Structure 1
Amino acid sequence: MIEALWAWFYEVFIERLDFWMFWGLLAQSMFMMRFLVQWLASERVGKSIVPIAFWFFSIGGGLLLLTYGIARKDAVIILGQGLGLVIYFRNLRLIYKERRKDPSF
């Protein structure tokens, strides 16, 4: 059992160590930053909020993860990040549309 677990770990984390693994780790880190930004902003004001940086980290991480999925030919990542990017860009568009209406925003 331990040998099988070690063999799996070695295959996943050592044998597959390449540029795309580093790219994927960078992408996942950027994507994770959006949660950190949202959490810290919410803690600062004492209620749940979604700052604009959340959407920029979502786009950055989503684009990096999409390229990772394309390079790895992973349909789940491609479809998930592709749809997510549409939503992230749409949210930014709605935010900027609202800001144009209300300059005090």
Structure 2
Amino acid sequence: MAEKIWLIIGFLAQGLFSARFLVQWIASEKAKKSVIPIYFWYFSLGGGLLLLAYSIYRKDPVFILGQSTGVLIYSRNLYLIYKEKKRLQFSSESKS
């Protein structure tokens, strides 16, 4: 039973991770230029965290290293986006 649950988690994680490319492609097509929307990073983080959990369960050190590095990068990008939005919000409020 546990093996089936982890297999489902693995497939769900891979689905989330793959969905980020679809989101990026659609956003770029709409903008007629290459764009990385914020949902790309959310899908990356969600898929990365689930894949990390799956790789820990499978005890795969190569996969663990790769996914943990990715999770740090996705988290950092979301933090930088959040920080920039706050800065722009503060800047526009102080001009008013």
Q: TM-score range by the shorter chain?
A: 0.7 to 0.9
Q: Give yes or no for the alignment of 1:85 onto 2:71.
A: yes
Superposition pairs of residues 22-101 of structure 1, within 5 angstroms: 22-101=8-87
| CA distance in 2: counterparts of 1:76 and 1:29, whole angstroms | 20
In structure 2, the gaps of 5 or more residues are: none
Computed over aligned residues only, the root mean square deviation of the Cα atoms, in angstroms, reads 1.3
Structure showing greater Rg: 1
| CA distance in 2: counterparts of 1:99 and 1:23, whole angstroms | 33
Alignment TM-score, normalising by the size of structure 1: 0.79
Q: CA deviation at 1:18?
A: 2.5
Q: CA deviation at 1:22?
A: 1.8
More helix by share: 2
Aligned residues: 88
| CA distance in 2: counterparts of 1:86 and 1:20, whole angstroms | 23
Q: Between the two structures, name the one with larger relative contact order (CA 8 Å, sep ≥ 6).
A: 2
Q: CA deviation at 1:77?
A: 1.3
In structure 1, the gaps of 5 or more residues are: 1-16
| CA distance in 1: counterparts of 2:21 and 2:63, whole angstroms | 19
Q: CA deviation at 1:57?
A: 0.4
| CA distance in 2: counterparts of 1:83 and 1:43, whole angstroms | 29
